[in-house]
Amino acid sequence: MDVDSNPDNVNDDLFLADNDINGNGKQGGDEDDHDKAELIVDPFDLALFKTLGMNQSPLVEAGDKVTFTIHVSNQGCHRCRNIQITDYVPANMTYVQADNPLWSLISGNPTRTLTGVVLLPGESTSADIILTVNAPLAANTVITNWAEISAATDADGNAQVDIDSNPDANNDDLFLVDNDVTGNGKTGGDEDDHDPASVTVQPFDLALYKQLANGQSDQVNPGDDVTFTITVVNQGAITADNIEIVDYVPAGMTFDLAKNAGWAASGANFVTTLPNPILPGNSASVNVVLTVNNPLAANTSLVNWAEIAAATDGDGNAQVDIDSNPDESNDDLFLVDDDITGNGKQGGDEDDHDQATVVVQPFDLALFKNLANGQSYMVEPGDDVTFTITVVNQGAITATDIEITDYIPSNMTFATGNHVDWSAAAGKATRTILALWLQVNQLRSTLSSMSTAR
C-alpha cells in the first residue's frame, strides 16, 4: 500500500501543483501519483480581402469585363492547402466560364480551389475573377461583388477550425470594414474571411438640339426646300456609337429620300444613323431636307421635331441614358427650345428631343383699274377706250404667271387688233404676264386693255 496516494484508474484525485511529487493525498494534499501536462493547438487562421484587379478602373460601362483580385493571407501557425474560394456574383453582373478557366460553378456560385498552393504562416496568395457588367444598366449604379473562403485544410489535408471566422459558401457574414483582416467574426466582429469590392457604372448621356441650317430662312414659300440641322452632343463619360436619329415630318411638309442621302423610312417617320462614334464632350451634326407642300395657307407654322431613337457605347453595348428615354415616339415633354440641360426622368425637358419651326409667307395680290392717262370718261359710239389695270403684290412672296381677266361689258366690244397680248372669248379678255416676276410691293402699271364703245 502506497504511503501517501491511492493508485487507481479513476481521474478524480486532488490536484494542487503541477509536477509536485511531495504531496500526501492521504492527508489532504496533492496526490503525488497523479499529474497532468498541457499542450496548445497552434491556431489555424486564414483571412481574405478583395480588391479591383491591377489597372481596373472603379468606373465601368455596361458590357465591360471587370477584373477582381481576391487575396488570401495565412495569419495562423499552420501550413495551409486546399484553400477554396467562393465568389458571389451580384445581380448586375454575369459570370462567363470562358473568361475564368480555373473556376467552376458549385451550387450556382463560381468556386476555385487554389490547387498546388501550400500557404506558409505569414504568406499570402491571390486569384483573379472576371465578371461582365450587364447591359443595359442605369448610370451611377454601384455594383458590389463579394468573395469568401469556403473551405481549407492544413498541409496534411486535415480539416481545421479557423480561429476567428466560419468558412462557408453563404454570403451572410457580418461586414464592418472593407479589407479588414483583423476582425473576429466569432466574437461579433468583422468576419475576416469575407470581403467585397465595388465598381460604379459611368453615366451615358446624349442630348439633341435642332435648328435651321446656316443660311436657311424661317420664312418659307410653298414648294420650298427647307434644311434643318440636327446636332447630337455626348454629355456623358462613355463613348457613344450607333446613334440613330428619327425625324418626325410634320403635316404640310414632305420628305424626299432623293434629297436625303443616308436616311431611310421607318413607318411614318424617317431615320438615319450617325456614321461615327462621339467621344465624351464632343458633338456631331446631320442635315435633313423637307419640302413645303404646295399650295399651303399663308402664315402656317411648320414644326419639325427630331429625337435620338437609340444608341450604344463604343463597344456596341446597349446603354441607359441618364436623363432621357430614346425612342421613336414624338411625345416627350418639351419646355425650352435647344435646351440640352433638362432631365426628362425628373419631369424636366427631355434633352434628346427638339424642334425647329418655319412659317409660310403670305401670298397676296391686289388689282385696281383706271381709265388710261389721257382717256376721257366721255365717249362716243365707236370710240376706242383704253383702261389701265394695275396689279399690286401685297404679300411676302414673289409672284409670276399672273393671269388677268377683263370682263367686257355688253355695250362694248373687245378691240382685237390693238391687243396682241390678250385673247378674248365669251365676253372675257384674258392675259397672262409670263416674263414678269412681280416682287413684293411692286406695281405693274402698264398693263392695259382696250375696248370699243358701241
According to DSSP, the residues that pair with 27 across neighbouring strands are: none
Residue 453 has pLDDT above 60, yes or no: no
Contact 91, 145 (CB under 8 A): no
> 3-state DSSP call for residue 32?
coil
What is the fold of 206-360?
Answer: Immunoglobulin-like (2.60.40)
Here the cell at position 108 is 450556382
- Cβ(385)–Cβ(453) under 8 Å? yes
Query: What tens digit of pLDDT does each residue of 366-383 get?
Result: 998 888 899 899 988 888
Q: Where do the domains of the chain lie?
A: 1-38, 46-201, 206-360, 365-453
pLDDT reported for residue 278: 98
User: Per mean pLDDT, which range of 79-88, 219-228, 391-400, 430-439 is the poorest?
Assistant: 430-439
Residue 38: band (very low, low, confident or very high) from pLDDT cuts 50, 70, 90: low
Dist. CA 139–CA 320, nearest whole Å: 7
- Which is more confidently placed, 40 or 233? 233
Beta strands 194-201; 59-60: pairing state: parallel
Give the pLDDT confidence score for residue 451 in this predicted structure: 52
Whether residue 77 contacts residue 42, with contact meaning beta carbons closer than 8 Å, is answered with: yes
Q: How far is CA 155 from the centre of its chain?
A: 53
Q: How many residues does the structure list for the chain?
A: 454
The mean per-residue pLDDT over the stretch 30-48 comes to 76
pLDDT surpassing 70 at residue 450: no
Q: What is the pLDDT of residues 289-310, one digit of tens each?
A: 999 999 999 899 999 999 999 9
- What's the pLDDT score for residue 83? 97
Strand partners, 357: 303
The number of C-alpha atoms within 13 Å of 271 and in the hemisphere containing its C-beta is: 18
What is the predicted pLDDT for the residue at 401? 86
The Cα-based distances of 217 to 86, 171, 389 in angstroms read 67, 66, 34
pLDDT in tens, 88-126: 999 999 999 999 999 999 999 999 999 999 999 999 999
Assign domain 365-453 to a CATH class: mainly beta
Confidence of residue 68 (pLDDT cuts 50, 70, 90): very high
* 97: Cα within 13 Å, side-chain hemisphere: 5
Mean pLDDT of 154-159: 94
- The confidence score (pLDDT) of residue 24 equals 77
Is the model's pLDDT at 33 over the cut of 90?
A: no
**Going along 11-57, which residue ranges are E strands?**
46-52
Average pLDDT over residues 338-366: 92
254 pLDDT tier (thresholds 50, 70, 90): very high
Distinct helix (H) and strand (E) counts, the chain = 0, 27
Q: What is the mean pLDDT of the chain?
A: 89
Distance CA(354)–CA(179), nearest Å, equals: 49
> Does residue 446 carry a pLDDT above 60?
no
Pairing of strands 93-95, 80-88: unpaired
Q: Which residue has the higher pLDDT, 131 or 343?
A: 131
Q: Which three cell numbers stand for residue 352?
A: 434628346
The grid cell for 341 is: 440641360
Going across the sheet that includes 283-292, the strands are: 206-212, 225-234, 283-292, 253-255
How far, CA to CA in Å, does 25 sit from each of 9, 13, 14, 46, 228?
A: 15, 8, 7, 47, 112
pLDDT, average across residues 318-333? 93
Whole-number pLDDT of residue 15: 67
- Residue 19 confidence (pLDDT): 75
The pLDDT score that the predictor gives to residue 13 is 62
> d(Cα 313, Cα 94) in Å, to the nearest integer?
18
d(C-alpha 422, C-alpha 404), whole Å? 9
pLDDT of amino acid 436 = 41
Helix (H) or strand (E) holding 139: none
What DSSP string runs through 352-403?
A: TEEEEEEEEPP--EEEEEEEPTT--S---TT-EEEEEEEEEE-SSS-B-SEE
Q: What average pLDDT does this structure show over 256-272?
A: 97
Q: pLDDT at position 447, please? A: 46
Domain 46-201 matches domain 365-453 at the CATH topology level: yes
- The answer, yes or no, to whether residue 26 has pLDDT greater than 80, is no
Higher pLDDT: 389 or 130? It is 130
The pLDDT of residue 388 is above 90: no
Q: What is the pLDDT of residue 126?
A: 97
Asked whether 232 and 274 are in contact (CB, 8 A), the reply is yes
Overall pTM surpassing 0.75 (yes/no)? no
Q: By the 8 A CB rule, do 223 and 83 touch? A: no
pLDDT at position 390 is 87
CATH number attached to the domain at 46-201: 2.60.40.10
407-419 pLDDT tens trace: 988 888 887 776 6
Burial 254-272, CB ≥16 within 10 A → b, else e: ebeeeebeebeeeeebbbb
Pairing of strands 365-371, 301-313: unpaired
Q: Which pLDDT belongs to residue 372? A: 87
